[in-house]
């Protein structure tokens, strides 16, 4: 079974703090994704990565950055957390095929910014 793990289930931070969310997958998938999930808005893509050291902006990248130094690990960074970044953050991975295949999701990190 594919396993995607996220470093924290719950996180509380203060405005202005730098926040790191870590994601690790164990299936040697090329693609990794970061989404945020908000009620009534569904899942919105923040950033994704096709390969090590490669990243592309998703639909809502403002206020976020990412890092992918190893194939299995994809980090989301909030450089200066703000209250409007309070949300559920989901990481996902998928193999790189011709066209999308199933994405496998982690359990999510519920981030609260005070």
Partner 1 sequence: AQSVSQHNHHVILSEAASLELGCNYSYGGTVNLFWYVQYPGQHLQLLLKYFSGDPLVKGIKGFEAEFIKSKFSFNLRKPSVQWSDTAEYFCAVNGNTDKLIFGTGTRLQVFP
Render the chain in DSSP notation, one character per residue: ---EEES-SEEEE-TT--EEEEEEESS--SEEEEEEEETTTEEEEEEEESSTT--EE-S--TTEEEEEEETTEEEEEESS--GGG-EEEEEEEE---SS----EE---EEEEE-
- Stretch binding partner 1 (CB under 8 A), from 11-19, 69-77, 78-86, 93-101: 93-101
Told to check if 11 binds partner 1 by CB under 8 A, we report no
What residues numbered 13-72 form the site for partner 1, per CB under 8 A? 31, 33, 35, 40-45, 48, 50, 58
Q: Which residues bind partner 1 (CB under 8 A)?
A: 4, 31, 33, 35, 40-45, 48, 50, 58, 90, 92, 94, 96-97, 99-100, 102-103, 105-108
């Amino acid at each position: 079974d594919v396993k995607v793990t996220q470093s924290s289930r719950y996180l509380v931070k203060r405005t202005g703090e730098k926040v790191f969310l870590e994601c690790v997958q164990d299936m040697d998938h090329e693609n990794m994704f970061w989404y945020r999930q908000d009620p009534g808005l569904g899942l919105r893509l923040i950033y994704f990565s096709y390969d090590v050291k490669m990243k592309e902006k998703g639909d809502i990248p403002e206020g976020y950055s990412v890092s992918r130094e190893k194939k299995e690990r994809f980090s989301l960074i909030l450089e200066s957390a703000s209250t409007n970044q309070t949300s559920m953050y989901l990481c996902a991975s998928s193999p790189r095929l011709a066209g999308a295949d199933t994405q496998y999701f982690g359990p999510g990190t519920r981030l609260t910014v005070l």
